[in-house]
Amino acid sequence: MQMQQLGLLDQPETLNQLAGSLQPLVAALSPSWQQVLQQEPLQSKLQLLDHWLKQRLSAGAVIYPANPFYALTLSQPEDIKVVILGQDPYHGPGQAQGLAFSVPDYIARPPSLRNIYEELHLEYPEYANQPPQHDLSAWAKQGVLLLNTSLTVEDGKAASHANKGWEYISDGILRHILTLATPKVFMLWGNHAQAKQPLIDEYATAPVLSLHSNHPSPLSAKRKPTPFIGNGHFMQCNEWLEQHGEKPISWL
């Protein structure tokens, strides 16, 4: 769909900007997610983050996305069966949605997402001519948690909100879902995501499959020894889920 049809041609960058406090966004989450975020130390960390983000906004910073918790609105903790970890949101106007690797359909596909679809079409060649979705919310609604370790970023400044407290929140989310009974697949692409493997090993109480490869970024997607392109992760994920009594993900 064209941006002009959506009435977004003039100011698409305003659609995905954080406008104020995190508190109403947390209050709008389901009771299950609220319970997770209200536990200590997550609640205190969120309060500190909220204060810092409001200071940045007051200083004129443009912060993305509008709802850092959007991924949590699309599936409940007990329904999550696949986790795909990113580092931080896209930092361009109109891009970040609150879902790792995803952008709205009217935004051009970023390079990493192009490589994700290149891999999908290798694994499922029968769908190679099907137009790809840029918005991955359909995955999230099937139980795929598309989680960045930092949930906000400033315009044009990659990793600008790293080490500001978001990592406590994303780790707390991961610890919680690891304690639930649903079998889970973790797709750990790149060193940043693979650094979560010890946390997975420590807290998992149900069967877990961890799939490791390079990041889908053009800088690493085809590099040895574990290139992203050709990793077969999407089919491996679905085969494992079916073996554990779970419905596979419709990726395309």
Tell me which residues are annotated as active site.
88
Helix (H, G, I), strand (E, B) or coil at 38: coil
Q: Is 180 exposed, middle or buried (0-12, 13-18, 19+ CB in 10 A)?
A: middle
Place of tokens 């109109």: 94
- What's the DSSP call for residue 157? B
Strand segments (E) across 95-194:
144-148, 153-154, 184-189
User: CB–CB of 251/120 below 8 Å?
Assistant: yes
Place of tokens 């536990």: 39
Q: Which tokens sit at 221?
A: 């997607």
Half-sphere exposure of 31 (CA within 13 A, CB side): 0
